A and B are shown apart, each in its own frame.
Chain A
Amino acid sequence: MGERSLPRLTAVGDRHDERGRRGAADAVRPDLERTFRAEYRRVVGIARRVLGSGREAEDVAQDVFIAYGRASVPAEQAPAWLAVATAHTALNVRRSDARRSRRESATATADWAPDVAEEVLSAARRERVREALARLPRTQALVVLLRHSGLSYQEIGAVVGISPTSVGTTLRRGEQAVRRELDSDDTPG
């Protein structure tokens, strides 16, 4: 993964220096702003379901749009592309540093709570939901996130690479697993 990702990473960061050499292939797509304005909030919403409402979700959204600006994915497929890219990226970030995510989400919401004690409990429960989601097998987590972000079974099947019927099965099992985990957390003792 890293071997090929780094050159592209550099290319994004250094695009101004390399503009002359890379030419039109590196141009930012003309629909970026329109797509950004139409999809940004939805993208942040998807990232927040994995990472909470801290700045991290917005960072993921920004980076996903940077990548979209360089991609040649057809504009009509942008919503599905952005959704699956956001879900994957957010899950990767989440798994890369679960402790940081837990800490940030617990503190990020505290400023908004009139009742600190109640908010701490609420924040802890939100964190448990995100933990349960992140513990799912990757395909289940993706399907749950994408379906609850409004993608159709057909769209999910296309981007994840499974049949629409398998989407239903995967979704069902993912939802059951999340509920089970949360229910077990709520069970005394």
Chain B
Amino acid sequence: MTHLAEGMRRRRVDEPAAVTDTDRRHAQICARCQSAVEAARADRDAVAELLAQAAGTEPLPDVETAWGRLTEPTRRAADPVRGVAVSLPRRRLSLRRPMVAVSAAAVLALGGTAAAAAASWLPIFHPRAVTPVTFQVTDLAGQLPDLSAYGTLSVPGHWQPRPAASASAATAAAGIPAPTVAALPAGVTGTPTYAVLPRRTVTFTFSADKAATAAARHGRSLPAMPAGLDGSRLRLDVGPGVVATWDQGGRLPTLAVVRMKAPTAASEGVSLQTLEDFLVAQPGFPAGLANQIRALPTNGSVLPVPVPTEVATSEATQVHGHPATLLRLRDQSAAALVWISDGRLEAAVGLLSPDNLRAVARGLG
């Protein structure tokens, strides 16, 4: 009998519909879980009362007065749309409340500590599925400016796997269960070696000035950056994860299985739609690739798996009901299967046939 996890007990108090049928049925017959849920409910009610007290007893401020306070210093300047000023008072942040100003700026514009960053970043990409996106290398090569033309990429340290002594050591280090294979396909033998992929955050800061300079240098024009993009940052979080590798002494491993937290991206307010529109508007961007990108959901729920068609073919398939992408090298020497399950990106790659890889994927523990 598996008891409800602590977080699920608490969630059952607030969002009972979010609890799975299995957990719900268990909670109905398990006195221990029922007691824990009631304790969580009591704490929830008590803290709600305490926080209400903490907010004080004064009436909430009048919205009209507050709006007037926000706009008063510039009310004389007419807003072209509504005829009312909405320009922001210059004194507010810089003079009257310096601490508030610094905090707001740190939280809302920049981050700096991990905690502050959490507030300033808008999650724009949390993939729950994968889909192949095909392109021809020759269509891209030389057509698009280098990424450095658009801003500055910040990659802290070196991102490389760290060897782990065992599956349990890798699990402990990564915080993600190391993948185990139920039955190795023919041609794969021995015990795997494990490595931990540490979490890394890559940040890109957009710069309209750099884009203009690069465009001028190459004698071409680039579309104007969308409002709010210049100076804003895009953050990509990758990892942690675990790689299990079966090596038969060849140049490449016979089989490698990767399990890692699905990559996520966040921006300082710029939406994924805006970024996609800006990307596909670049001169020379292949129309076919643009159409595929436009067809992706704008809520950031699908991870495109790039497939260079000169060297590989792709096929949409499933692993345990999850959408998966199967890639095969055109010379049939290797294949890869990629999918996302429960927020984790999983991949099986090897010098194996697609059927063998599917069997590996189905038997992963």
Contacts and interface: CB of A to CB of B under 8 A. Distances in A.
A93 B9 CA distance: 33
A169 B11 CA distance: 9
A49 B55 contact: yes
Contact of A63 (B104, B116, B230): B104
Interface in B83-99: 84, 86-97, 99
B263 to A, nearest CB: 13
Contact of B14 (A10, A93, A147): A147
A159 B122 CA distance: 7
Contact of B110 (A4, A54, A178): A4
Interface in B298-334: none
A92 B94 contact: no
Interface in A33-59: 33, 36-37, 40-41, 44-45, 48-50, 52-54, 56, 58-59
Interface residues of A, number: 99
Interface string A49-93: 110111010111111111111111110010001001101110011
A96 B101 CA distance: 12
A69 B86 contact: yes
B100 A59 contact: yes
A133 B54 CA distance: 10
Given A63-B101, A109-B56, A167-B11, A25 B227 contact: yes
Nearest to B122: A73
Interface residues of B, number: 89
B103 A89 contact: yes
A94 B93 CA distance: 17
A2 B111 CA distance: 10
B103 A92 contact: yes
Contact of A142 (B94, B118, B122): B118
A87 B167 CA distance: 40
Contact of B97 (A28, A48, A59, A169): A59
Nearest to B66: A40
A104 to B, nearest CB: 11
B66 to A, nearest CB: 6
Given A71-B228, A88-B107, 14 more contacts: A1-B106, A5-B102, A13-B91, A15-B87, A24-B227, A49-B55, A62-B70, A64-B108, A68-B108, A72-B269, A161-B266, A170-B7, A171-B10, A178-B50
3 nearest A-B pairs in the assembled complex, by CB-CB distance: A53-B56, A1-B112, A168-B7
